[in-house]
Structure 1
Amino acid sequence: MKKIEDPIEIAQALQELLEKNHDAGEVFKSGLEDTESDLLKNFLLTQAEQRARFAKELEREIYQIDQVPHNTGTFKGTLQRTWMDLKTIFSDNRDEVILEECLEGEQESAAEYEIAMAKYHFSDDILRVLEGQLDEIKHTITIVSSLKDLETY
Structure 2
Amino acid sequence: MEKIDDPKEIAKALQELLEKNYDAGEVFKNGLEDTESDLLKDFILTQANQRARFAKELERELYQIDHLPAVGGTFQGTLQRTWMDLKTIFTENKDEIILEECLEGEKESAKEYERAIENYNFSKEILRVLNGQLDEIKYTLKKVTGLKDLETY
TM-score (norm 2): 0.98
Alignment check: 8 A CA contact 2:95 2:150 kept: no
Aligned length: 153
Task: Name structure 2 gaps, 5 residues minimum.
Answer: none
* Structure 1 runs (4+) greater than 4 angstroms displaced: none
Q: Give the letter aligned to residue 52 of structure 1.
A: A
Alignment of 1:129-144 (within 5 A): 129-144=129-144
Corresponding residue for residue 149 of structure 1: 149
State the AA in 2 paired with 1:137. Answer: I
- Paired with 2:126 and 2:116, the residues of 1 have a C-alpha distance of 11
Q: Distance in 2 between matches of 1:139 and 1:149?
A: 17
Asked if 1:38 is matched to 2:38, the reply is: yes
Q: In structure 2, how many angstroms separate the alpha carbons of the residues matched to 1:152 and 1:31?
A: 19
Query: What is the DSSP-based 3-state SS (H/G/I as helix, E as strand, rest coil) of the residue aligned with 1:151?
Result: helix
Aligned residue for 1:13? Answer: 13
TM-score (norm 1): 0.98
Number of the residue aligned with 1:102: 102
What per-residue deviation string (whole Å, max 9, x for no partner) do you get for residues 26-52 of structure 1?
Answer: 000000111111111111011000000
Which letter maps to 2:32?
A: L
1:86 aligns with 2:86: yes
Query: For the residues of structure 1 that align with 2:26 and 2:150, how far apart are their CA atoms?
Result: 24
- State, as a whole percentage, how many aligned pairs show the same letter: 76
**CA-CA distance at 1:92 after TM superposition:** 1.1
Q: Specify the alignment match of 2:119 in structure 1.
A: 119
- Deviation (angstroms), 1:70: 1.2
Looking at structure 1, the residues matched to 49 and 71 of structure 2 have their Cα atoms a distance apart, in angstroms, of 16
Cα deviation 1:55-80 (Å, max 9, x = unaligned): 00000000111111111100110000
Q: Do the aligned residues in 1 keep the contact of 2:88 with 2:98 (CA within 8 Å)?
A: yes
Q: CA deviation at 1:149?
A: 2.4
